[in-house]
Chains A and B, each alone.
Chain A
Amino acid sequence: MTTLAQRHDGPGTATVPGPRRRLTGLVVALATLLILLVLSVMIGSTAIAPSVVWDALSNPSADIDQFAIRDYRLPRTVVGLVVGAALGVAGALIQALTRNPLADPGIFGVQAGASFAVTVAVGLLGVRGIGGYMWFAFAGALIVTLMVLALGSTRQGQSPVVMVLAGVCVSAVLGGAGSALELTNPDAFDAMRSWNAGSIVGRPLDLVWPILPFLVVALVLALAVSGSLNAMALGDDLAAAQGVRLTRTRVLAIIALTLLAGGATAIAGPIGFVGLMVPHVARWIAGPHQSWIFAYSVLLAPILLLASDILGRVLMRPSEIPVGVVTAFVGAPVLVALVRRKNASAL
């Protein structure tokens, strides 16, 4: 039975689950996500009867409680789904690209770029409201990642190690410049305090739709390079011998992860641990196949994000805890437990 469910995938890989276990796991993850989507609409800081929730979705009226469902809980559930999926796949991409299990989407300066752009928008340009500075965040993430890509390019092509170093350096510089601006501008400081917490509250769907096409394109790109990333996990030489075009794969992967992490950060602010933790769990369940890891990450990351958000709504009623705080609080110990497992997921 064991041999049916598990098999070895060659050098450098541990015993990996078979297709049946992967598929079963995927179905379970999908079912869990569906349950959390329902719970996210049902549970909030205000107690609203299930019948009102049902009516709000099936028989809309001007009832004041129905607005709470349609205008706040439903959009925030969709935002949680979209942002979670984007962060999960971005995390899987960056870990595959750098062959570093500690890499997260912020390592190429995506979040630093987004945060710095928001600081400039608020502190120097007087932009107010999430709808105003969302596009600055997205542009900041894209520009900074392109900068890191350029700095990380050598004559031999893109080196993941050099790019990571460039990302860390650019992030440090932008972090310092952003802090200087925040400390001398109380308005920017206030805006960044809220932004840095990472939250999916108060993001209407109008803000999500314009970003969504970028995320869809990025997901397609990620799937397109998944086969090449599998080969690159064995080393550049072996991958090149198999016909993988290393530079093209890396550039496409970086574009995809920038769009995913930049889009998610633009909508919700920096949310930690999702992109770091979820790919580990995905690899633990699915083994080292990137397409499976991406599929799992698309489902598991929104599960983590929505579960954390629901917790954040009820832990401090009537107030709420931003989801970015909960993911860090929950994610850190879970990640420690995962990496201390005997069969911790390897790249």
Chain B
Amino acid sequence: MNRNSSRRRGTAIAAALLSTTLVLTACGGDSEETADTAAAPQTRSVTGGNGTIQVPADPQRVVTIGNTTLPFIDMGGKPVGVTEVGASELALIPTDQKATFDAATNLGSSGDQVDMEKLAGLKPDLILAQLPASEFEGIKKQLEAVAPTVFWGLDVEWKALADGVSQAGDVTDGLGEQKAKFQEKIAKIQQTYSAIIGGTKFVNVDRWESSDPGTFSVADFGCVEIAQDDLGMNFPKAAAGEDPLGWTSLPYEQIAGLSKYDVITYPVDAAGQPKVSFAPVVATNTWKALPAVNSGRALGVFCPGNNSYGPVLQYLDSLDTALATLPAKQ
């Protein structure tokens, strides 16, 4: 009886102590929350393909998914996590940018293959993503649960993407200067080569590591879009609503069909040699027999990327140099 009574008393004291502790803890929690709210980072509103998003004013831990990685790095950003970029694309970026890419955590081979556990472990404060809308829909909720996420679809023009990435990622410092250089370069090329641009039928051809053996493509996407849209050069383009021409693999026997164009542009590396994946086309007898090739009107053009101003400026420099060789040959 006595033993039971003292046990009850002990239980009552323990309950009282626990209640007091809980009350004190709750009070402490309140005061900390108030302090957190006071120190909460400021946010900005940015608009992407998934609406208007509140993002940190000065994001410190940015994850880039899909096509946002190289533009963000090109603008000086240092992502903490990235999805993979093809070896051929990485080979074309400057060494310091490659080092930044390598320093980031690899989150998966593509947007729809992101390792969500690894992503959450990075504790990002911002996620930037450009990938097919259908793929984004599948991971949207998971990404947004981890951090504010700004998404762009693949139909977004490169300049809009560059602007969006720079604003969302707060890497706007060099953008104004890059834009000015771009406008200056466009104006210079248009002025210098106005006669050529106006009266020449161009065609841009390409071949990728993923192309089937014995095939090439008439490419109407990538850097050629800048030549087409910003410079007004006359390149073949898919009809509205149709798939891009570059999606169609053409067998080598159709290289002969390039005879109808005045000037051919094809991809080269930084040293001016045909890109490895395109080299088999240049080696064919049909290519060597093309009138444009025989008269020096097949121009190798370097395109390190077309999603931000840095690589686009390099492309325009290369195109400028290539076009400069034309008047003497015509």
Contacts and interface: CB of A to CB of B under 8 A. Distances in A.
A72 B213 contact: no
Interface string A184-200: 11110011011001010
A186 B213 contact: no
Interface string B249-261: 1111111110100
Contact of B211 (A44, A187, A194): A194
Taking each of B84, B109, B209, which has the highest tally of chain A beta carbons within 10 Å of its own beta carbon?
B209
Interface residues of A, number: 34
Interface in A103-145: 128-130
Contacts of B211: 194
A71 B252 CA distance: 9
A46 B257 contact: yes
A186 to B, nearest CB: 5
Interface in A39-74: 44-46, 62-65, 67-68, 71-73
Contacts of A191: 209-210
Given A45-B250, A197-B212, A319-B248, A186 B286 contact: no
B210 A194 contact: yes
A45 B254 contact: yes
A196 B289 CA distance: 33
B87 interface: yes
B253 A68 contact: yes
B286 to A, nearest CB: 4
B213 A129 contact: yes
B286 A67 contact: yes
A266 B280 CA distance: 20
Interface in B188-225: 208-215
Contacts of B84: 186
Nearest to B211: A194
A186 B250 contact: no
Contact of A187 (B209, B215, B248, B259): B209
Contact of A319 (B249, B253, B259): B249
A64 B286 contact: yes
Which 4 A-B residue pairs are closest in the complex by CB-CB distance?
A202-B214, A202-B213, A190-B210, A68-B253
Given A72-B252, A318-B248, A128 B285 contact: no
A147 interface: no
B210 A318 contact: no
B284 interface: yes
Interface of B: 84, 86-87, 109-110, 113, 208-215, 248-257, 259, 276, 280, 284-286, 289-290
B275 to A, nearest CB: 12
14 contacts: A64-B256, A67-B284, A67-B286, A71-B286, A129-B280, A186-B109, A187-B87, A191-B209, A201-B212, A202-B213, A202-B280, A203-B213, A318-B248, A318-B254
Nearest to B277: A128
Contacts of A183: 109, 113
A217 to B, nearest CB: 26
Contact of B212 (A71, A185, A322): A322
A71 B284 contact: yes
B212 A190 contact: no
B212 A64 contact: no
B213 A199 contact: yes
Given A46-B253, A67-B256, A191-B209, A201 B215 contact: yes
A230 to B, nearest CB: 40
A130 B209 CA distance: 12
A319 B110 CA distance: 28
A233 to B, nearest CB: 40
Contacts of B215: 201-202, 320
A278 B216 CA distance: 33
A197 B215 CA distance: 14
Contacts of B259: 64
A318 B256 CA distance: 13
B280 A203 contact: no
Contacts of A67: 256, 284-286, 289
Given A46-B253, A187-B86, A318-B248, A202 B285 contact: no
Contact of B110 (A68, A71, A186, A194): A186
Contacts of A129: 213, 280
Contact of A184 (B109, B257, B280, B285): B109
Contact of A194 (B213, B250, B252, B257): B213
Given A64-B259, A194-B210, A319 B290 contact: no
Contacts of A72: 214, 251-253
Contacts of A63: 289
A185 B209 CA distance: 13
Contacts of B257: 46
A322 B215 CA distance: 11
Given A64-B259, A202-B212, A203-B213, A45 B289 contact: no
Nearest to A320: B251
Contacts of B252: 68, 71-72, 202
B212 A68 contact: no
A267 to B, nearest CB: 11
Nearest to B286: A67
Interface in A164-221: 183-187, 190-191, 193-194, 197, 199, 201-203
A185 B212 CA distance: 18
Interface string A11-52: 000000000000000000000000000000000111000000
B209 A71 contact: no
